[in-house]
Chain A
């Protein structure tokens, strides 16, 4: 089936888009933003906000761009005097009862009402000092507050709960200028994916309690990343303020998570700000336990691996990047190595209406990548093997007391650590960066390799694990050269040969031969 394409002219620019595209989407192709509130690409459009009214030549009236499909040859004016006047009117009505909360509102700085009023609203109100409608703040659920006064009734939250999460607990209560978003009195907004209504809200009406008053939008630095929570591999933005992660938000990727992330992933950022990190390499050998510089630590690692008389076991945490796993495995290559990734299991929580999107049972972001590189998810066997191994490499895995005791029985333990674990009796503790402090790639359950970018600086002397492994590997024989960048480290791995980080782009790329067995 070939898609028929239609040409239209939008604000003087002609674009050609598939038949059936709405004007608002066609305008995006032309690079023209049609102001809108109720429209969202991942939600059905009810055309209630009347903000996206545009003028079409030969049409008697303005039409809402979000629900009107384009027709061949239409000439559309988004910024004609009539359209601007209509939107000015809509904004004036929205502002009648909108409180002047901007100084205390969490949304200020990323608020679409602010943006569009600034862009094309009226400079002054004509309503004088009439009292504004007042409703108290409502507690909607574990993490969500509803500030009714700020609501512009775009109903994105209602439609999200109805049509996407498929748990219809929100509605529009009352009518006319008394309308507000109501919640089923017997329900709370505690759906696993309910946190998305905060991101969907174009104004500061639905706010996250967790983020409340924490930072202003303009203080935040945003970094593209991948959620390390489960094998789904949702695209996220890590927002930091003064190098402290303050929130995680979804980043649009229509192939993976559309515009959503689950609340488990959203809440799971506190470990990124841990203060008790290892920041210098520690080596314990015949000369005693001491902090050393990197060359000495790398020599120790290389010698330990080279002198291993017996099997080698690699125990990895679920957040290790493919670079780190690949190079640690290459470091121990040739030895009789058993490698496993720790995959905590949880409950699978699907979003409802979005196919192939759920909080997965396997709570390890890079399981598919690990399996491509030769790791298994058979944790118990690997831990058992560790107790009699010559060398165990622990790659930032969280161990129970029993597991730690088993690992401690090994002849020597190399601990690639974010946080030191005294139970292991490691001969070397090597400080590594976490996934928010390094560049890397995760492969999700559908075999999509997606890269994440560093969001904050590494503590002290910490290096990415792949760099430690690669430098130690280079010491192992003459003529070996360690890769200098994460991208080079990625390219050098056999399943990804020829691919660079740049090839993956910001929405990832499906790589061949991937799939999750667990």
Chain B
């Protein structure tokens, strides 16, 4: 087994036993990132590394992953920790001068097939325009080593990284990307394609091309991220970095503060989640307990035993299917939360006899029809956000007024079989609370739950009046992430 001596003297890697220490440290990092790693899995990993050399990085990574990560959603978290933890332990991770940056002259003389790119260290002397030009060429050809070279140079130049500066990686990433103008490059690549071709590409072809370039740009962005990470680790050490780069697992992502990327991963996560939930619920129903004693049938059967009720008979359980009213605040801050909840509720609507949904900001509108006969829940949710008539005066949340409208228009339709879910942070902008409506609703309905996407410690601070409403509800819940949402829906049904 060949190991590369790391440049950092504080992390000794010798041959033999220390690999196990290294692994133990890695597992500690994984656990603190929230991955559940059991003792057996730990032992398996230790067994696994005996068979796979550390020098084959990818294989080593997959070997560790297969023993330690048992859930696909956790893969990303694992990868980040792996990259950080083992980043100083690979040959390509020495911080060297940009000698691997290809020479620009090389390209300007038009030798696209030039294999050896290890030109002189000309990277630092490039003008920004030249760097931009190199990026464009690298992307056009999908030239991986050149992309890496440009990424390194760009980070060095634009990120403005200073040793010891307590700033997270996202900040540097933002700074670097802002200077590179990747969108502009994409447009230029597409434009160039149109110019060179004799007949202009159809929309269809253009779409394919765009996807191709987009993928290359994504790859380039990953290179930049890797470079930033590499430099940060070199600066601050592994343990500190693992902490700052740690990202929450998809089921723990906070609805209210999710980044665009996290939103995408949430959207992906919600579909399998609903499928799982639906199959679990229907299974539960089938295997549910027996119904109440069927007196008539018991007596009837007792006749064959001379009137002794030997065999008690039970009624078939009547599946209890509640009617659900979802009343959701869709104003800016909590819109994402409402979207996911609506999605989830409709995905398992088979579990309810009827689902009706209402959305509000300061006015209120029923959106049930948007979901009727629609195959694609996403689209319905999108329509809710764009078409529903929810603004009354100024488009700032007014729970009091919205509830008033609800009570007036739909209050009569609440029956003893109705479960009501109200979604919102109850930040009422200091309007009147009208909490008596909740009390009236609670009296008529089977139960009423308040789901709040804010952490419990923020409740009733500032203009939040959730306590006012919650006193009349059967329960109020903090639902900040998919895990909590799933738990709540499970309980509701």
Q: State whether these chains interact.
A: no
